[in-house]
């Protein structure tokens, strides 16, 4: 029991030494499981007290279940990514190390809840501090548990052939042209539809499968969609902006799905997140939101997801998991993830929503470009 109490206090005072002591002993998940369950119980209790929920039992039960699922799920995702990137470590050991992090979570819940009655800004600051503290402990747990190993020839994730940035620039230029042109909606559908075939040709060429009959079948999907838009009664039932937004988002999903299929079809591997394909997805999401924001109530949540996605893509591309600066940028992405929704609603009260969307996509570009240049410089 004394050893367990030493580990619990050590995670606060000297986490590196605590992790190394745990690594030298036998793996035990009992105490970490109890700590995680207690953190969920306390979170449910404070949630009941703050929001005056209907049932204490339901809040506590939900808190415990969510805490356990988050504990096992986050550790599982980290384990898969690290194993795929060429690291050697045990999932059970990672669970043990990260389970003790819930001690910090408990301290954050209690301190933040007390501060909530004093000042909301103070409570927010405390939550951010404890969030960064937990994130740093996760970094230490990964660093201590996983070691480098030789990556075999057959890996789960493989870097596929490059697509390039020129098609993305052309795609965005076509969007700007259609946005300000006076062409009819049918011409707009034809021009947008041609991009499906262009992207099919680019991806097919990058993988060298022009003669593959299965690759030819992928042309049928955009062909059917374009014919339906041109000759069916579907367009009059919707506004042009709604169908156009879906058509552009569909372009990104189509290109990325075909890109994954080509790599798996040829190599039986899943491609890593390529920055050029993610650029297409980002451009398509921007266009989709510019067309569809009138009927969407969760625009800001869609934008927030792109910040951690870009961080993950750049980190995976340059395998910079063990750089301290990488996790500093992860913290920045987390702050932006938390700040975008409230800032979006504040700016929406003073500016047109299209302008607000453009502002946050500019912030996204600045963030991803800065992180990319920093990684390139360090590499």
Does one domain contain both 134 and 205? no
Of 148, 173, 191, the domain-final residue: 148
Same domain, 126 and 165: no
- 43-83 pLDDT, tens digit per residue, is 878 776 766 556 677 777 878 888 888 888 888 877 876 77
Mean pLDDT, residues 100-116 taken together:
83
Spatial distance between the Cα atoms of 96 and 51, rounded to a whole number of angstroms: 32
Domain count, the chain: 2
The answer to whether residues 240 and 309 belong to one domain is yes
Do 210 and 335 fall into the same domain?
yes
Chosen domain end from 116, 148, 180: 148
> In this structure, are 271 and 363 located in the same domain?
yes
Q: Is there a single domain that holds both residue 144 and residue 164?
A: no
What pLDDT digit, counting tens, does each position of 109-161 carry? 888 778 777 777 777 778 778 877 888 888 888 888 876 544 443 343 444 44
Q: Tell whether 56 and 18 lie within a shared domain.
A: yes
User: Are 131 and 171 part of one and the same domain?
Assistant: no
Over range 232-253, report the average pLDDT.
66
pLDDT at 367 (0 to 100): 92
User: Do 214 and 115 share a domain, yes or no?
Assistant: no
pLDDT, greater one: 169 or 75: 75
- Among residues 98, 111, 78, 107, the alpha carbon closest in space to that of 31 is found at 98
Q: Once rounded to an integer, what is the mean pLDDT over residues 20-29?
A: 83
Spatial distance between the Cα atoms of 22 and 240, rounded to a whole number of angstroms: 61
Q: Report the alpha-carbon distance of residue 164 to residue 167 in Å, rounded.
A: 7
User: What is the residue range of 9's domain?
Assistant: 2-148
What's the pTM value of the predicted model, to 2 decimals? 0.55
Considering the domain architecture, whether residues 246 and 271 belong to the same structural domain is answered as yes
Same domain, 98 and 189: no
Stretch among 154-163, 211-220, 235-244 having the lowest mean pLDDT: 154-163
Reading the block at residue 309, the tokens are: 């996605």
Query: 136 and 178, same structural domain?
Result: no
What pLDDT was estimated at residue 312? 86
Residue 351 carries which DSSP code? Answer: S
Which residue among 148, 167, 183 closes a domain? 148
């Amino acid at each position: 029991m004394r050893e367990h109490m030493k580990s619990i206090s050590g995670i606060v005072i000297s986490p590196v030494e605590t992790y190394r002591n745990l690594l030298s002993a036998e793996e035990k998940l009992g105490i970490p499981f109890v700590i995680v369950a207690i953190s969920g119980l306390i979170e449910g209790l404070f949630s009941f007290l703050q929001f005056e929920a209907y049932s204490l039992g339901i809040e506590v039960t939900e808190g415990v279940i969510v805490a356990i699922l988050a504990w096992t799920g986050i550790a599982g995702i980290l384990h898969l990514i690290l194993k795929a990137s060429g690291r050697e470590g045990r999932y059970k050991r990672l669970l043990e190390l990260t389970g003790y992090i819930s001690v910090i979570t408990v301290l954050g819940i209690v301190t933040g809840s007390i501060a909530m009655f004093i000042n909301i800004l103070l409570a927010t600051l405390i939550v951010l501090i404890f969030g960064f503290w937990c994130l740093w402990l996760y970094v230490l747990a990964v660093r201590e548990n996983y070691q480098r190993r030789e990556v075999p020839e057959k890996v789960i994730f493989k870097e596929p052939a490059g697509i390039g940035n020129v098609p993305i620039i052309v795609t965005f230029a076509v969007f700007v042209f259609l946005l300000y042109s006076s062409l009819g909606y049918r011409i707009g559908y034809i021009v947008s539809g041609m991009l499906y075939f262009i992207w099919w040709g680019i991806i097919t060429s990058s993988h060298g499968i022009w003669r593959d009959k299965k690759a030819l079948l992928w042309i049928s999907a955009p062909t059917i969609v374009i014919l339906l838009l041109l000759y069916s009664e579907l367009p009059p039932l919707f506004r042009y902006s709604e169908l156009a937004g879906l058509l552009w988002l569909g372009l990104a999903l189509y290109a990325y799905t075909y890109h994954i299929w080509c790599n798996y079809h040829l190599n039986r591997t899943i491609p890593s997140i390529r920055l050029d394909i993610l650029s297409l997805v980002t451009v398509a999401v921007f266009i989709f939101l510019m067309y569809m924001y009138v009927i969407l109530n969760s625009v800001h949540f869609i934008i927030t997801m792109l910040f951690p996605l870009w961080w993950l893509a750049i980190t995976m591309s340059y395998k910079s998991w063990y750089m301290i600066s990488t996790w500093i940028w992860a913290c920045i992405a987390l702050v932006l993830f938390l700040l975008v929704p409230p800032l979006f609603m504040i700016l929406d009260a003073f500016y047109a929503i299209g302008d607000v969307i453009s502002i946050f996509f500019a912030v996204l570009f600045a963030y991803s470009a800065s992180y990319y240049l920093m990684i390139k410089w360090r590499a």
